[in-house]
C-alpha cells in the first residue's frame, strides 16, 4: 500500500526543515510537529517513505556538510564539528570515523592531495560519490567491524 500524496508532502516538509538547518537539534517530536502527524506515525512513515529513519538521514546531511567543509575550507575541525551540529568534537570524530572509515584530519589530508583531480568533475557527481552509506545504523557498523564482518572504506 502506497502513502498518500498529502502524507508525503507532510513528511517532505520535515525533511526540508532538516535540510535547511542540519546543525539544529531535530528530535522526532519536533519533526512530527512540522509534519502535523503523531510521533509514532511520523517515525514509521518517514522510514517507509525515504528508506532511512530521520536520525540517520540527519547524520547523512551532517557528514556530507562536514566533508565539504573539510575538503573546501581551512576551518579548524572543532569549528566544523560545531557548525555541522555536533555538541562534542569527540563524538563528531568518532561518528565521522565510523561512517567514513577515517578521522576528519585523515579525510582532510587525503582530500587535499586529491583536490586537483576533482576540479573537472561536476559537483553533483562529487556529492553523490561522497554521500555516506547509512543503510545500517552506526552502532551496527561498530558491532560488525568489531566482529570482523564489515570492511570500512579505506584509501
Query: Which pLDDT tens digit goes with each residue over 89-125?
Result: 999 999 999 999 999 999 999 988 765 555 667 777 6
pLDDT class of 149 with cuts at 50, 70, 90: low
- Lowest-pLDDT range, 49-53, 75-79, 114-118? 114-118
pLDDT of amino acid 19: 94
User: In the CATH hierarchy, which top-level class contains the domain 56-146?
Assistant: mainly alpha
Mean pLDDT of 26-37: 96
| 68, pLDDT greater than 60 | yes
Compute the average pLDDT of residues 35-54.
95
**82-88 CB contacts, 8 Å cutoff, 24+ apart:** 83/23, 84/22, 84/23, 85/22, 85/23, 85/24, 85/25, 85/58, 86/62
Q: Rounded distance, CA 83 to CA 144, Å? A: 30
Q: Which of 4-8, 50-54, 114-118 is predicted least confidently?
A: 114-118
Query: How confident is the model over 7-16, as a mean pLDDT?
Result: 96
Report the chain's mean pLDDT, rounded to a whole number. 86
Amino acid at each position: 500500500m502506497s502513502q498518500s500524496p498529502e502524507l508525503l508532502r507532510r513528511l517532505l516538509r520535515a525533511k526540508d526543515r532538516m535540510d535547511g538547518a542540519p546543525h539544529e537539534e531535530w528530535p522526532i517530536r519536533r519533526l512530527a510537529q512540522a509534519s502535523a502527524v503523531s510521533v509514532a506515525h511520523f517515525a514509521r512513515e518517514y522510514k517507509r517513505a525515504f528508506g532511512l529513519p530521520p536520525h540517520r538521514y540527519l547524520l547523512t546531511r551532517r557528514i556530507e556538510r562536514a566533508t565539504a567543509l573539510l575538503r573546501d575550507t581551512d576551518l579548524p575541525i572543532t569549528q566544523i564539528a560545531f557548525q555541522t551540529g555536533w555538541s562534542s568534537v569527540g563524538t563528531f570524530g568518532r561518528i565521522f570515523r565510523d561512517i567514513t572509515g577515517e578521522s576528519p584530519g585523515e579525510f582532510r589530508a587525503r582530500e587535499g592531495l586529491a583536490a586537483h583531480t576533482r576540479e573537472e568533475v561536476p559537483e553533483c557527481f562529487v556529492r553523490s560519490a561522497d554521500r555516506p552509506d547509512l543503510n545500517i545504523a552506526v552502532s551496527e557498523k561498530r558491532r560488525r567491524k568489531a566482529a570482523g564482518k564489515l570492511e570500512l572504506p579505506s584509501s
